[in-house]
A and B are shown apart, each in its own frame.
Chain A
């Protein structure tokens, strides 16, 4: 079976638009290593938009997101000497920006007090699941054609408590492995998996209105 989600995160790179003119990646990296101002400016203009988008996923405040993107880009320029080209520059920058955003998110709650009450699976006294059955569920691509679907999914993610939102962002969106995500936020792999599963269960519950015929 092909794993559903491991390593299939949606947004693992911070690639610049392919049509943007300027230095090629190798020349850009060399320019940054030699402190070329033109290369630095192009780097920010090329990778800044994606860095901002990544930071906005983790931080609600636009100011915080801009600060995190800025920190990430500065750190990337400072560390460019350690870029070996094993991955695309965008992938490398992406990880640095995620780390900068995580610092601003703050410490992940060890024992989240925020409740997911009403969002978890329901079982009867015999440990049998009680689950609604939706008989006419539109396919994912049909759901995606509706503008309100995207807004609803984004809002549903944002409404998760921070201790659950960050694990689901790292694993399912940013493409981190379980181990990488656990290390990034200082949890054990086991704790990360528990958080991720609860977050997905809560998200599934939140998205159920979409599955009831697809209209909100």
Chain B
């Protein structure tokens, strides 16, 4: 069973393309792409945010894209923030020795701050 198909068919996109031409205040999908980062950072002006959301209302493909984009960011953060992720219990013995040795050198060297 496949759940993978295009969000909008060719006809739907053709209609949207005509809409972009007839309604110049509606941003195109390519323009929408350029606002995603600032939208998610809540850094868009009120007008830009309104236009961004207006595009989302019209465009199923961009809704699907934005949802997957956010999901992948969250998944990425969740994987690395997982408290159960492997954290070595002990540091390599060499690391402890090397850091302590570097301290000894510092203590012997009056030029080191």
Contact = CB atoms under 8 A, between A and B. Distances in A.
A131 B7 contact: yes
Given A10-B80, A129-B65, A200 B90 contact: no
B65 A131 contact: yes
Given A70-B98, A127-B17, 13 more contacts: A5-B73, A8-B77, A40-B99, A123-B30, A129-B32, A129-B59, A130-B6, A137-B71, A140-B71, A149-B79, A203-B72, A207-B72, A207-B75
Contact of B72 (A1, A40, A121, A204): A204
B76 A173 contact: yes
A200 B76 CA distance: 10
Given A41-B96, A48-B91, A4 B68 contact: no
B83 to A, nearest CB: 10
B14 interface: yes
Nearest to B39: A1
Contact of B91 (A11, A35, A49, A134): A49
Given A132-B4, A154-B79, A127 B91 contact: no
Contacts of B81: 10-11
A11, A129, A135, most chain B CB atoms within 10 A: A129
Contacts of B14: 126
A102 interface: no
A35 B104 CA distance: 10
B54 interface: no
B78 A50 contact: no
A4 B73 contact: yes
B100 A140 contact: no
A144 B75 contact: yes
A133 B82 contact: no
Contact of A196 (B37, B59, B82): B37
22 contacts: A10-B81, A11-B80, A49-B87, A70-B95, A78-B113, A127-B31, A128-B61, A129-B32, A130-B13, A131-B8, A132-B5, A133-B4, A137-B67, A157-B76, A172-B77, A173-B80, A203-B72, A203-B76, A204-B71, A207-B75, A212-B2, A212-B3
